[in-house]
Amino acid sequence: MTAHNIVITVLLSLVVLSCWIGSVGMWRMREPMQALHYLSLPACLGSVFLAAAVFVQTGSSQASWKTVIIVCILLAINSVVTHATARAFRTRDLGHWQPRPEDNIERIPKRRGEPA
């Protein structure tokens, strides 16, 4: 097994692992809002490892640069779609997405040493 094959094996294993952890996490979570978090794993991690694997396999080719474009699209789009979907879930549940006093939402506390 050459170094080239070892690197591709490792990278592809990480892609498969990220897809599996994402899918199992999404299935396991009780609330849809929790399940949404696991979309980031294949989108942010899996796609980057896949782009690296394509570069190692094909070198600097049209396919590898198009994979980079796919990664950039997935990173940006996943973020926007997750945000829109989460907002849709909350609006569907409560009729509004904005934090209101009656929602009793906790505030993220200041860290020690940070100015007020």
Restricted to residues 51-80, the positions that interact with another protein (CB under 8 A) are: 54, 57-58, 61-63, 65-67, 69-70, 73-80
| Least distance between another protein and beta carbon 37 (Å) | 5
Name which of 3 and 98 has its Cβ closer to another protein: 98
Token pair listed for 17? 């692992």
| Residues in contact with another protein, shown as a per-residue x/- string from 4 to 43 under the rule CB under 8 A | -x--xx--xx-xx-xxxxxxxxxxxxxxxxxxxxxxxxxx
**Residue 23, CB half-sphere, CA atoms under 13 Å: how many?**
7
Rounded to the nearest angstrom, the gap between the alpha carbon of residue 104 and the centroid of all alpha carbons in its chain is: 28
List 3, 59, 102, 107, residue binding another protein (CB under 8 A):
107
The residue from 59, 110, 112, 113 that contacts another protein (CB under 8 A) is 110
94 near another protein, rule: CB under 8 A: no
Supply angle C-alpha 41, 47, 50, rounded to 5: 130
113 counts as binding another protein under rule CB under 8 A:
no
Q: Are 22 and 78 a contacting pair, CB within 8 Å? A: no
Establish if 88 lies at the interface with another protein (CB under 8 A).
yes
Give 8's contacts (C-beta < 8 A, 6+ positions apart).
Answer: 53, 56, 57
SS3 1: coil
